[in-house]
Structure 1
Amino acid sequence: MINLVIDIGNTLSKVAVFNNRELVSLEQSVDLTEPYLSKLIKDNKIDNSIISSVKPEIKHLEDCLKAVTKYNHFTAITDSEIINYYKTPNTLGPDRYAAVIGAAANYPDQNCLVLDAGTCITYDFISSEKKYFGGSISPGIQMRFKAMHTFTGKLPLVNADLHNSENYGDDTLSSILTGVQKGVLYEVLGFIEYYNSTWPHLKVILCGGDMNFFDTQLKSSIFAHTLKTEPNLVLIGLNEVIYHTND
Structure 2
Amino acid sequence: MSATKPILALNVGNTHTTLAVLRGKRMLWRSTVKTAQLLNQRNAKCLAKAWGEEISKCREQIQHIGVASVVPKATQTFLPWLEKNVRAESYIISASLKLPFEIRYRTPQTLGADRIAVAAFAAEHFPSQAVIVIDFGTAITYDILTSGAHYLGGLILAGAHTAAASLWQRAAQLPEFQLRKTSKLIGSSTVECLEAGLFWGKVAETEGLIAKLKVELKRKYRESKNFGGSNGWGCSGVCTHCCHNRPCRKRCCALWHSRNCRKKFYDDLSQPVFKG
TM-score range, shorter chain: 0.7 to 0.9
1:5 counterpart = 2:24 = no
1:63 counterpart = 2:80 = yes
1:35 counterpart = 2:49 = yes
1:25 counterpart = 2:29 = yes
What displacement does 1:187 show?
0.5
What displacement does 1:154 show?
2.0
Mapped to 2, the partners of 1:192 and 1:210 lie a distance apart of 22
2:153 is matched with 134
1:204 counterpart = 2:236 = yes
Post-superposition CA distance 1:125-146 (Å, at most 9, x none): 1122211111111111112221
What displacement does 1:79 show?
2.8
1:182 is matched with 200
When the two structures are aligned, how many residues end up with a matched partner?
A: 222
**Identity rate, percent:** 23
User: TM-score scaled to structure 1, two decimals?
Assistant: 0.78
Aligned residue among 179, 191, 206 for 1:160 = 179
2:209 is matched with 191
1:51 is matched with 67
Aligned CA RMSD, in angstroms, stands at 2.7
1:112 counterpart = 2:131 = yes
What displacement does 1:159 show?
2.1
What amino acid maps onto 2:142 in structure 1? Answer: Y
Stretch moving more, 120-129 or 188-197:
188-197
Distance verdict in 2 for CA 1:155–1:61, change over 3 Å = closer
Mapped to 1, the partners of 2:64 and 2:54 lie a distance apart of 13
User: TM-score scaled to structure 2, two decimals?
Assistant: 0.71
1:173 is matched with 191
1:240 is matched with none
Mapped to 2, the partners of 1:98 and 1:64 lie a distance apart of 23
What displacement does 1:23 show?
3.0
Contact preservation (8 Å) 1:48, 1:72:
yes
Mapped to 2, the partners of 1:205 and 1:120 lie a distance apart of 15
Post-superposition CA distance 1:27-86 (Å, at most 9, x none): 222345221343355443101111111111223433345552232122233331221112
Q: Which structure is higher in RCO with an 8 Å CA cutoff and minimum separation 6?
A: 1
What amino acid maps onto 2:68 in structure 1? Answer: S
1:91 is matched with 110
What amino acid maps onto 1:76 in structure 2? Answer: A
What amino acid maps onto 1:173 in structure 2? Answer: V
Distance verdict in 2 for CA 1:108–1:225, change over 3 Å = farther
Distance verdict in 2 for CA 1:55–1:135, change over 3 Å = same
Stretch moving more, 105-114 or 56-65:
56-65
Unaligned runs of 5+ in 1: 232-247
